[in-house]
Amino acid sequence: MKYYPLFLKLAGKKCLVVGGGQVAARKIASLLEAEAQVRVVSPQVCEEIRLAAQEGRLELEMRGYRPGDLRGMRLVIAATDDPAVQEAVFSEAEALGIPCNVVDKPEYCSFIVPSVVKSGDLTIAISTSGASPALARRLREELEGSFGPEWGRFLELMRRWRREILSRGLPASEREAIFKKLAYSPIPQWLAEGREDKVAEFIAPLGLSLRE
């Protein structure tokens, strides 16, 4: 089966997680990081989820799933071992047109959750289209060694530099040449080595600086 890759904007959107174990807790953590409004439905929950509810970071209902729980949701994840609940959640999601992921049940998924490498706002998603989650984890671990915190810092600078360059009213070809020069530069390596002097020297002819 082929999947269409995309990144969802979930900030402020209601998302439902059915299940309360450690797998559910990991899914919840990712949703909270995306600033989603998370609702959890489960008769039992692990300590991590209970604490998050006490802190007001999510809404918790200590009960089993009921038809109708998906109304008003933007996305649903079912992290439960109950086959009947898995099927029921997916069926309701399909009827309502809500993206659904049932953990470890690709036949009940309208989307899959990739392995992710993050460095600041840099996000690299890895998917094997459900063929081998273990291989996706291996690739993530290998990439984590290649994209350290210097890449997050580089992206912060690129965001600011892009705004500045766009404000100059340059011809499109000239803008693209500058963007390419920056993107293909050794700046991440210099940042990793603490050589901000090299970065400053490189960007000075472009009229850019490291500081606001």
Q: What is the CATH number of the domain that holds 44?
A: 3.40.50.720
pLDDT tens for residues 22-64? Answer: 999 999 999 999 999 999 999 999 999 999 999 999 999 999 9
End-of-domain residue from the set 63, 98, 113: 113
Strands 75-78 and 14-18 come out as: parallel
Q: Is residue 161 part of a domain?
A: yes
Q: Is residue 163 part of a domain?
A: yes
Same domain for 109 and 19: yes
- pLDDT the model gives residue 190: 97
Phi-psi region of 194 (alpha: psi -120 to 50; beta: other; left: phi over 0): left
Q: Is residue 122 part of a domain?
A: no
Which distant-in-sequence residues (6+ apart) come within 8 Å of 192 by Cβ? 148, 150
Same domain for 153 and 104: no
Same domain for 109 and 156: no
Same domain for 195 and 109: no
Number of structural domains (the chain) is: 2
CA distance 65 to 57: 20
For residue 161, give Cα distances in angstroms to 20, 31, 200, 206. 44, 30, 13, 10
Contact 121, 155 (CB under 8 A): yes
Residue closest to 168 by CA, chosen among 153, 180, 179, 182: 179
Same domain for 108 and 24: yes
What average pLDDT is seen over the chain?
Answer: 95
Same domain for 158 and 99: no
Nearest 5°: the CA angle 114, 73, 98 is 60
CA distance 206 to 168: 12
pTM of the complete model: 0.82
Same domain for 84 and 30: yes
Q: Is residue 52 part of a domain?
A: yes
Q: Is residue 48 part of a domain?
A: yes
Which distant-in-sequence residues (6+ apart) come within 8 Å of 92 by Cβ? 67, 68, 69, 70, 98
Which distant-in-sequence residues (6+ apart) come within 8 Å of 209 by Cβ? 200, 203
- pLDDT the model gives residue 32: 98
| Res 1 pLDDT > 80 | no
Contact 142, 126 (CB under 8 A): no
Same domain for 103 and 57: yes
How many percent of the chain have pLDDT more than 90? Answer: 88
Average pLDDT over residues 100-107: 94
CA distance 132 to 173: 42
Give the sign of the dihedral formed by CA 194, CA 196, CA 202, CA 207: positive
- pLDDT the model gives residue 130: 79
- pLDDT the model gives residue 211: 87
pLDDT tens for residues 114-162? Answer: 889 999 989 999 988 878 889 999 999 999 989 999 999 999 999 999 9
Same domain for 92 and 153: no
Same domain for 105 and 20: yes
Domain of residue 23: give its range.
14-113
- pLDDT the model gives residue 133: 84
Q: What is the DSSP letter of 20?
A: -
